[in-house]
Structure 1
Amino acid sequence: MDTRERLVESTRELLWERGYVGTSPAAILERAQVGQGSMYHFFRGKSDLAQAAMERTAEVMKQQIAADLLGPGSAYERISGYLRRDRDVLKGCPVGRMTLDPEIFASEPASEPLEEMFSWLASAMRDVLEEGRRAGEFSPELPAQQVATALVAVVQGGYVLARAAHEPARFDEAVDGALALLAAYRRPQR
């Protein structure tokens, strides 16, 4: 891994672990095992590096989610697969956690990759739900956009519930509830 990549990957890890405020340039340099000049050779400063790291995190997440949502199976099975995917729920969502950081929230440019990621996710889920509706898997009354947004909220809320209770099972309860609600729109398969 070259120096720029080590900086970006180290920042991604630290942002997920500590948030923006808790991630110092010194910690980034130590984790990446590079000198201060290296950071400023590739980036204007911490905010520029953090922006690159958040964009990378969103891109990696999109690839993982697309693999779940575009894989084989019915629409319900693919959404269930995404929701039930193995996660470190007590660590939280690397994108969702950044939305809680006051400096990221206060900066529109810094929060753009986060908003874009969640919009993309809701659209991808909506597309799968609409596909299921067109295929007759779901009732025509299924409000695809609203349900997709609710499913994104369930995942993010599930992280919060699990972290608050220090109990991963709370995430699973939220997912089970969401899938039970979605199942109410399923049509019997012939």
Structure 2
Amino acid sequence: MYIDVMSTSERLISATRELLWERGYVGTSPKAIQQRADAGQGSMYHHFAGKPDLALTAIRRTAEEMRATAEATFGGDGTAYERIAAYLLRERDVLRGCPVGRLTMDPEIIADPALRAPVDETLDWLRGRIAAIVQEGLDQGEFGAHVVPGEIAAAVVATVQGGYVLARASGSPDAFDAGVRGLLSLLAPG
């Protein structure tokens, strides 16, 4: 399951991250977390105040990882279009979906302001980062003056998140890939 050198708290966080992605908040019971992490109940409550505290830590970790992965692409070389394309075309487990985006479909996460906050912050960061890249492209004359950075950013995030939904519904990454190709053709300079 987990490498023996991983601390109990890290095993609990990792197990919770996986279970939230697979089952959602309600389906992620303390017992399931403990079993997946190979940790006892006492260990869980020694490190975390309860399931909400552990879930919040796991959601924050997932959000941080998503931002870091996106930033590695956004901060790379290339034009604005090339960096956005690299983000859209990067390797993903499309049929598994987005671990952050999937949380928006979880009523318990959305109803709890503390649990929802890292999700909102991450999606806001993503739109803001993409909008800044589009603005760079506008400033360099790469995109036409009609391009609105915030709207393009929203379209990119919607394409990715909606692409996950379409791919999962059809059981094939083809719908995701088609959405990405369509958006890139609309964004292509020239």
The answer, yes or no, to whether TM exceeds 0.5 is: yes
- The residue identity in structure 2 corresponding to 1:152 is V
Residue of structure 2 in register with 1:76 after alignment: 81
1:129 equivalent to 2:139? Answer no
Give the fraction of aligned pairs with identical amino acids, expressed as a percent: 55
Q: d(CA) in 2 for partners of 1:22 and 1:78?
A: 37
> Hey, what's the Cα distance between the residues in 2 that align with 1:102 and 1:145?
27
CA distance in 2, matches of 1:87, 1:156: 12
RMSD: 0.9
Q: Which residue of 2 aligns with 1:172?
A: 177
**CA displacement, residues 112-170 of structure 1 (integer Å, 9 cap, x when unaligned):** 11011000000010111111111111122210111101110110000000011111111
Give the 5 Å matches for 1:34-113: 34-113=39-118
4+ runs deviating over 3 angstroms: none
CA distance in 2, matches of 1:181, 1:36: 53
Opposite residue 95 of structure 1, the aligned amino acid is V
* Gap runs ≥5 in structure 1: none
| 2:58 alignment partner, SS class | helix
2:122 corresponds to 1:117: yes
CA distance in 1, matches of 2:59, 2:36: 17
Residue of structure 1 equivalent to 2:143: 138
Counterpart pick for 2:154 among 135, 149, 157: 149
Take 2:11 and 2:77, find their aligned partners in 1: how far apart are those partners? Answer: 35
Length, aligned pairs only? 185
Residue in structure 1 matched with residue 29 of structure 2 by the alignment: 24
Q: Taking structure 2 as the reference length, what is the TM-score of the superposition?
A: 0.95
- 1:11-58 deviations in Å (ceiling 9; x for gaps): 111111111111111111111111111111111111110000000000
- TM-score normalised by structure 1 residue count: 0.95
The alpha carbon displacement at 1:2 in A equals: 1.0
Q: State the shift of 1:109 in Å.
A: 1.5
3-state SS, counterpart of residue 6 of structure 1: helix
